[in-house]
Structure 1
Amino acid sequence: MTVSIFAGWFVVTRFSVTRELTIWDITALRFGIGAVLLAPTVLRRGQRLPPAAWRDGFLFMLLWGVPFVLLVAMGLRLTTASQAASITPTLMPAFAGLFAWTFLRERQGRARWLGYGAIVCGLAGLVTAAAISHGAPDPAGLVVLAAASAMWAVYTIIFRRSGVTPIQAAALICVWSAVTFLPFYVLLGLSRFGVASLGEIALQALYQGVLMSGVAIVTFNRSVALLGSGAASAIIALVPCVATLLAIPILGEVPTALEGAAIAVIVAGVLLASKPPSLPATPSSKKGRRP
């Protein structure tokens, strides 16, 4: 469910940021509606969180709230939906594995490292194929999308160790994002709702506010809690496969044969990277073996 919603998000967001609405409108819809839907889970009587959870939530917001959405939206304006959907979710598991190994000393195992390598190689193939077909991508677009990917990876690692539930984390991200962003959005007059069609506003309100903030964040957090940050992050690398297919009928962006081959490499990498790392053999498991 998470992969399906995220994949559609890249297509739906690019649809609007290249037309009437701006990245500011998309961000306001996503976190404004998300805050209204999810705030009761952390603010109602009997459900209020301790100050430490709110501090964690503010950090979550910095990593996967307003800054993340603005970076991805900026990258979407500078690249294509398929390129953005390929770079950000595809690099994220590689960053997550690297950060967990470097800073937390978490053992990854040979299969995962091979998977991360395949994912990165597949991504390189996608970017190369896109450059051949549509021209070289904007370097600034690649940089901001990679930065967003690194932020997302750090979030997956920190969230699992925070003790906050999936729905509480989603609510905290939306509430903190709304509190910090909406006042500037209103005071600076950034809205372009007056020039957009009602149909486009309704589409973005449903997708950004309900599906992304109300469903996808919760389901992704739940997957991290169930699978661990490594496996959950690896499965997110499937987003470009789904987004590329969705971009064909909606945006008219048809992948080439090379792009299709690169996606197949990414899928193979996901299968490897989502495997749990093998544990070292214990003394009891070696019992009875000849030296």
Structure 2
Amino acid sequence: MPMQRDLLTPNPGSTMLRGFLWAGLSVSIFSGWFVVTRFSVTRILSVWDLTALRYGIGALLLAPVLLRGLPPRAWRNGFVFALLWGAPFAILVALGVQMTSAARAASVTPTLMPVFAGLLGWMLLRERPGTIRLAGYAAIAAGLGGLVLTANGGQAAPSLLGLGLLALAAAMWASYTLLLRRSGLSAIQSAALICFWSAVIFVPVYLVLGISRLGQAPTAEIAVQGFYQGVLMSSVALISFNRGVALLGSAAAAAMIALVPVAASLLAIVFLGEVPAVTEGVSIAIIVAGVLLAARPARS
């Protein structure tokens, strides 16, 4: 009988492996998102076009999930999640990417998220971070200060407004991460509700104002953006990140997010020709090191 109970007990190692695989999938999609978004918002398509594609397509793909009779509380939670990690979040990040660069944006929003999560957990849940995490927060702040003070090659200094928008997006993401595990919603339910409410709120305004540039863009670019924004980001990345948080916890999931600046910087070099200066590269490395320290699991 004891052996039979052991067979029925979930394997912590297997749970962690599945969590890292889910989180790794979301990291790879997030990394490419900064580059793909930067490519279009600096050319023809606007921030509004990408947001409409992302949540319009995502809402259609995930609509069957919402037909299973969710309780009213789930719809209310989904509305809050959409405000925190839906269309407003996507717009803030896209504007930040447009005002700065793919590498800088990837170094600010994903890495500030665990800092805000730790501070909010400290203030609201009385979960005081340890010395190592506080050192990680300090390293992240130092790295971000380096990004503000350095320029990328011959480009102008980074936009303070753009960095501020990216920081605000990080705070919203952190709030969503803390609320998700207490909501009782599954990964796919949360993703479906975020896409639904974002589409209901944003798409009608987008159509009424007539701000679409889709008719001016090449068909191939619209197809790429539709697949990446509408399928990968609104569905696959949302579900995989939610699963990673559920299996690993917020801290370990944030540690995986530390890989986003490195991957996004490499992709930006290859596809956008945005080669970071030495000082900027050092700042990004300091930020990543800080996140790895800040996201270390607390001792029980």
CA distance, structure 2, for counterparts of residue 108 and residue 222 of structure 1: 24
Q: Say whether residues 1:30 and 2:51 are aligned partners.
A: no
Measure the CA separation in 1 of the matches of 2:234 and 2:205. 20
Contact 1:21–1:193, Cα closer than 8 Å, also in 2: yes
5+ residue gaps, structure 1, are 280-291
How big is each residue's C-alpha offset from its partner over 1:208-227, in whole Å with a ceiling of 9 and x where there is no partner?
01110111111111111112
1:146 deviates by 1.0
CA distance in 2, matches of 1:37, 1:16: 23
2:108 aligned to 87, 92, 110, which one? Answer: 87
C-alpha displacement of 1:253: 0.3
Query: Could you tell which deviates more after superposition, 240-249 or 77-86?
Result: 77-86
CA distance in 1, matches of 2:270, 2:152: 21
Q: Which residue of 1 aligns with 2:197?
A: 176
Aligned residue for 1:39, secondary structure, equals helix
Deviation digits for residues 238-284 of structure 1 (CA, Å, limit 9, x no counterpart): 211111110001111002222332333233223322321123xxxxx
Matched position secondary structure for 1:262: helix
1:159 aligns with 2:180: yes
Q: Percent identity?
A: 63
Q: Report the equivalent of 1:120.
A: 141
Conserved? CA contact 1:42–1:168, under 8 Å: yes
**Residue matched to 2:224:** 203
Separation of aligned partners in 2, 1:269 and 1:209: 32
1:1-291 superposed matches below 5 A: 1-43=25-67, 47-130=68-151, 134-279=155-300
Deviations 1:48-104 (A, max 9, x none): 210000000000000011111111111122111111111111111111111111111
Q: Distance in 2 between matches of 1:75 and 1:268?
A: 23
- Contact 2:150 2:157 (C-alpha < 8 Å) held by counterparts: no
Q: Distance in 2 between matches of 1:269 and 1:144?
A: 21
TM-score with structure 2 setting the length: 0.87
How far apart are 1:178 and its partner, in Å? 0.8
The structural deviation recorded for 1:39 is: 1.5
1:161-200 residue CA offsets vs partner (Å, 9 max, x unmatched):
1111111101100011111111111222121111100010
Q: Which moved more, 1:128-137 or 1:115-124?
A: 128-137
Instruction: Give the 3 Å change call, closer, same or farther, for CA 133–90 of structure 1 in structure 2.
Output: farther
Aligned 8 A contact 2:255 2:296 in 1 = no
- 3-state DSSP class of the match of 1:275? coil
1:131: Cα distance to partner? 5.9
Aligned residue in 2 for 1:287: none
| Runs of at least 4 residues off by over 4 Å | none
Distance in 1, matches of 2:198 and 2:212, equals 17
Query: Match for 1:155: what amino acid?
Result: Y
- Cα RMSD of the aligned pairs, angstroms, is 1.6
Please report how far the alpha carbon of residue 133 of structure 1 lies from its aligned counterpart in structure 2 after TM superposition: 5.2
Where 2:150 maps in the other structure, the secondary structure is helix
Comparing 59-68 with 98-107, greater Cα deviation is found at 98-107
Structure 2: segments with no counterpart, 5+ residues: 1-24
Helix, strand or coil: the match of 1:49?
A: coil
